Structure 1
């Protein structure tokens, strides 16, 4: 398994969602014919959403060496002997100069060349910044402009599909909901997730988020066994007492769908406990954004509902504030651990609909922006989003509110349809 690192290696946060493979290289030949082959350059470039010839050319300029910029056998070569660690350091320079947004420092930028200028259009914050034209690579980019949109979008769709399939297989292996394609964990595809570490917590992944969650889960289990500090009294009297203690608005917010297809119909009190715990933690810390993702996940795991489809609906109503558009991305890593099927996706959208339509009606005008963040962070698939936008429902809110929310989402749904059509047209033209 290829080791992954944060695209910004100065960020040590385990929840940082932007990952890439570490540079892998091997030195071939000797004497004047010695050269360095970068084995996984194509994968690294794809994860940076940049053409691989930009990256190899940058290495050539920085190292003062000749490179091949269009190999037919996918062997990307820099003349001379260069250690992988040295190439990784130079890659940091390429990322800072030609990938990161100058404002928010996120790598969600698209290169646009216009009138001899190189513009980095950030899809995360919307800022348009300028690359340094003094670097020699700038001239190379202007002469070799990337094709707009098609490759980046198709790669993203493939990554999203692979993640969903891997998570569905992991859920089937754990005895939860079966994978929709009917494959067992041993059939085609990898059950280790993708490069972003989006796998089931017990699936054996080595990503930082999983390590942290597993370590803290083990510590929590030992604490429960010794001191019972984290136990929840689930007796009938205790459940009733907690239910009566809930404020009326939270009781209404957590009145989730009444389906009992998998025996969840008699477990509403457990979801109330999770919602109440998050609400209390936010009040104690003074801000919902100060309640850590790991703590939320471990609380859901403690209650035995980390794999249930209702849990994302509860979280959609409790872990955000009026600044939800900016809060979705920081929570994305944790939410991906919990949203593992189409049913989970629908429940999450239902929770968002209730959060916006009932709890914060002033946010209805921002529904398209909210859905864009959900889509960009790979929390819900295109098909589920389109199906949700096509028909109002009274499952989570009243019908009038549902129509109002979906009306506000029309701009996003239209963009989604047009983006899909544009991509298909590009593929047909090829």
Structure 2
């Protein structure tokens, strides 16, 4: 069994090195176009690295230019194509270097943290340093969309239950959280301090409630409420907070972005587009992606998508963003440039292969006609044109299930 275990840092020859992982195993299944490489012990390897098994699997796909699939329920992690075990082990070493080891002390005892600006940080429990990862790698987009599950609740549960966590390389994070909870409980002057805190918060809530009542008790007529609501919406629009600013309003940031895109079409670059969205305060808003999908492209859309793919990879961070992007594309090919309707399968393919659109979102969009962005007839027409790509996705899934 020892032969099946290796050091997490395979460049370390010390046999007493404490950080170990199972040796990555591979199994080739299928034949012809359906051949694929199954990694039967990916869960065990990922557990030793304190990372979800989807991360290294997706990393292999990014590095090899191959599609990957995960069936977490049945513990199956697959990379399309036939790949040698030695090659995947070498790629795993690269993954560990880029996304596991602390950049400062080279210790694998790290957690991944996603900041508010969607940067990924390695938080080292050994030396305390926080070091960033290379955000240019395609895997970072996948990690931001599928963040690691927090361990806080698990640590708290162990603390409340009185069970001490098993000492291991992967348990230190839970131990530190449990210790913090215990320290807070011991140093908080018990019930007296807790009672003071509860009373203080209750007083704040009471004051806020009284203020709200005073503000809205002036005039509760329908006209007055409507006027105050309109004023509040105008204020939020000025601050760039609302997601529902109408792009019909010339003063809205979305309308400004639309005008800027149209006036500077020949000079646009991925960097300039993102900076403009940041300048308008809407770089993280899902509706911004819809505006880009509709007004960033012209008849040369396929080449232009490849050019601006980094912008969408940076800005599309949720399922809501993906649906907005599809809505913008729907308007572009359905209303603005109907001659491009036949190109919708190629458009979807480029975004799909660029890890901007997920398979599940595309399939749901393709099977549900909606009049949110265009009229129902146009919506049907666009989805009808997308059928070749939807069929390709379905056949790819069926092929994997049969194998």
Q: TM class, shorter-chain normalised?
A: 0.3 to 0.5
Q: TM-score, normalising length from structure 2?
A: 0.44
User: Of the two structures, which has the highest relative contact order with CA contacts closer than 8 Å and spacing of 6 or more?
Assistant: 1
Q: TM-score, normalising length from structure 1?
A: 0.42
Instruction: Name which one, 1 or 2, has greater alpha-carbon Rg.
Output: 2
